Amino acid sequence: MRRGFRRVALVAAVLMTVGALPVPTASASPGGPAAEDVAQTAAASATSAGSASVIDPGPVCASAQPAGFDDRGTVHATAIDCLTFYADVDGAPIIRGFADGTFGTSRSIDRGQFASLLLGFLTVADPGMADAVADAVVPFDDARGTTHGSAIGSLAQLGVVSGRADGTFGHRDPVSRGAAATALARALEVAGVGLADRPVSSFEDQGDVHWRSIGQLTDLGLIAGVGDGRFATYDDLTRGQIATLLARSAQLLDDQGAWAADPTTGRPPADGWTSPRPRATPASTHAPRTLAAVGDSITQASGATRDGEGFLDVLPGATRPARSWSTGTASGLDSVLQRLRALEPDADGDNVSEEGRRMRHALEQVQRTSPSTDLITIQLGGNDLCRPTVAEMTSPDVFETQLREALAFVAAERPAALVQLSSVPDVYRLWEVLRDDPTAVAFWNGTGPFPPVVPCQSLLADARSDAPGDQARRDAVRERSQAYNARAAQVCAEFVRCRFDDEAVWTFTNDPARFAAEHISAVDFFHPSFAGQRELAAVAWNAGFDWSDQAAPAVDVEVADDAVEVTASAAVGVAGLEWRVVTAGALRGPWTAAPTDRVTLPLEPNGGAGGAGGAVEVRAVDVNGNVSASRVITPPR
């Protein structure tokens, strides 16, 4: 498991994509300046890659009159008329045209304009939204004091937009179709719309940053692709497209009773509007579309020789990630990713593993996974065992703490992701299988003036010695691997979306009838060969989530005056319950999870769940990663 060349992992992009764009000099309103929104280039009758026809905004836009712009065209004309018809309580329309009498239908929109437009849309949908963000601050240096700074700060407080890694927002840069889809999906969730964790729809060019939001909006009937199975994720959005998407969104909210504005007058009530009850989150039961592999040189497929290959084909220590058990794509491998693609043809993988890594690197690696990752495989621990001496092996307590930190990050920052945790292999069997192979022993212990090639002296030093001290040292390595696996099972069980393999990898490597020399690299005599990688893939698949199971678990609730008792059920077994508080304005807080099938949550009459002043949303997760439709419980008034 020597350290080799690092593979540079893809880091998730910021919410919005960037690029230069002159800002149009259009009039702006406090709630929705001259701006735009996000829609597909497809006409209203277009269909998406995986959903029914897109929503027709005709009913909610029926009272809108022609806006009078010379360039509004035909495809987006109804939507443009609609968004200039609807206005906030002060009479400011959601969107306006330019001083020269044009709308700029085919012009791009920058990130600042988009933020103001989206906030204006939300305040027309729910006038109380303005109060929810009254104290918002602008967290981005480049946006403070700008025309759209207040809107940017408000949406950032609501969790709708975020900035770049350098702390800026890039308010003058254009909005891409993918970035706008992500922002709108979050805005609709704020408005009370339930969104699926793993949406059904997909496009071949949706990428690994915005794919979840694109799928969610497609499943809702809000967007469609540009043809040929494409979404044009990183193309700039135009003002006409944005108008169409927001008009459809208004119709969706109106259909769900969450659109405050009167379709006959275009104005929301000045008072008396009750924020809508949040809609349930849909069930998610299909296989993952995005996979990230966390691990060491095993997952990098270092030295993974095929039958007949030797030093002229694969150099010792050379990585072969295409042969990785997790995300590999080599012919005849049947990796986890390849098996997923039999269920989800568009499934994509990202291998962020590195050679020489120990469990202390797990947190660093999961932090490099995309926020839209569906499934994370983790295979670490071999290098915690393989140290210069037994005394230098990672202690079980430290191993446990490091694993818990990584899983806690996933639970908090990748809440929709599932984790498949592999057990640590029985590396003792490596010595047992090859101890009489002189070439292997030379690699392990060195020969003549040459030092050992394999850095695992805790196990492999004096490989041919049967002295009691040497055997005791090897036994200590095996015992430590078993201790790691016991701790891994314990920690994984604390997290609802984590599944341990019940020592399937350890059992495979420990079994003389299954694990043999053919499963060990023919060039470094240490890592899995191609055949070994293929077996690891089969072991992981059989011991992991059963993606053929698409039966969602169920949630039952019993409400009393001051509490709600939640019970989950699933044919295959319940992994746990998740719940979150939904405050005034349908603002959803973060999910809390517990590995239990029953929980009692407090309700405060006229207040909310857990003292937060709103409702509580609950859902169940089963042992195969299926998620139930949520239940939303409103406290007694």
Q: Are residues 533 and 562 in the same domain?
A: no
Q: Are residues 162 and 243 in the same domain?
A: yes
Residue 370, in any domain of the structure: yes
Tokens of 585: 């304005």
Range of the domain at 90: 77-255
Residue 463, in any domain of the structure: no
Residue 10, in any domain of the structure: no
- What does the pLDDT read at residue 319? 84
Q: What is the pTM of this model?
A: 0.75
Q: Are residues 535 and 559 in the same domain?
A: no
Q: Are residues 538 and 558 in the same domain?
A: no
Give Cβ neighbours of residue 366 (< 8 Å, ≥ 6 apart): 292, 294, 376, 378, 406, 409, 410, 414
Where is average pLDDT lowest: 82-86, 306-310, 439-443, 525-529? 306-310
**Max CA pair span of the chain:** 94
69 or 44, which is more confident:
69
Asked whether the beta carbons of 223 and 46 are under 8 A apart, the reply is no
Q: Are residues 322 and 411 in the same domain?
A: yes
Mean pLDDT across the stretch 475-479?
98
Residue 69, in any domain of the structure: no
Residue 282, in any domain of the structure: no
Q: Which of 517, 543, 569 is the last residue of a domain?
A: 543
pLDDT in tens, 192-242: 888 888 787 778 888 778 888 998 999 899 998 888 888 989 999 999 999
**Amino acid (1-letter code) at residue 601:** L
Q: Are residues 514 and 395 in the same domain?
A: yes
Q: Are residues 216 and 310 in the same domain?
A: no
Q: Which of 498, 517, 543 is the last residue of a domain?
A: 543
Cα atoms in the Cβ-side hemisphere of radius 13 Å centred on 368 = 18
Question: Treating both helix axes as pointing N-terminal to C-terminal, what angle do 177-190 and 211-219 enclose, rounded to 10 degrees?
Answer: 60
Q: Are residues 219 and 365 in the same domain?
A: no
> Coil, helix or strand for 497?
coil
Q: Are residues 310 and 189 in the same domain?
A: no
Question: What average pLDDT does the structure give for the chain?
Answer: 85
**Domain of 385: which CATH number?**
3.40.50.1110
- Cα separation, 494 vs 502, in Å, equals 15
- Cα separation, 525 vs 535, in Å, equals 17
N- to C-terminal Cα distance for the chain? 62
Tokens of 587: 């603002």
230 or 463, which is more confident:
463
DSSP H or E stretch at residue 78: helix 77-85
Residue 444, in any domain of the structure: no
Q: What percent of the chain has pLDDT over 90?
A: 58
**Domain of 621: which CATH number?**
2.60.40.10
- Cα separation, 620 vs 611, in Å, equals 22
Percent helix, strand and coil across the chain, each to the nearest 5 = 30, 15, 55
Cα→Cα distances 228→45, 134, 204, 205, 307, Å: 16, 44, 9, 10, 41
The total of structural domains in the chain comes to: 3
Residue 40, in any domain of the structure: no
pLDDT in tens, 574-591: 999 999 887 655 567 789
Q: Are residues 112 and 191 in the same domain?
A: yes
How many Cβ atoms are within 10 Å of 313's Cβ, its own excluded?
Answer: 12
Asked whether the beta carbons of 175 and 114 are under 8 A apart, the reply is yes
Q: Are residues 138 and 177 in the same domain?
A: yes
> Coil, helix or strand for 446?
coil
617 or 498, which is more confident:
498
Q: Which of 206, 227, 255 is the last residue of a domain?
A: 255
Q: Are residues 502 and 562 in the same domain?
A: no
Nearest to 396 by CA among 461, 493, 487: 487
Q: Does the structure show a pLDDT above 60 at 44?
A: no
pLDDT in tens, 483-529: 999 999 999 999 999 999 999 999 999 999 999 999 999 989 999 99
> Coil, helix or strand for 253?
helix
Residue 241, in any domain of the structure: yes
- What does the pLDDT read at residue 515? 97
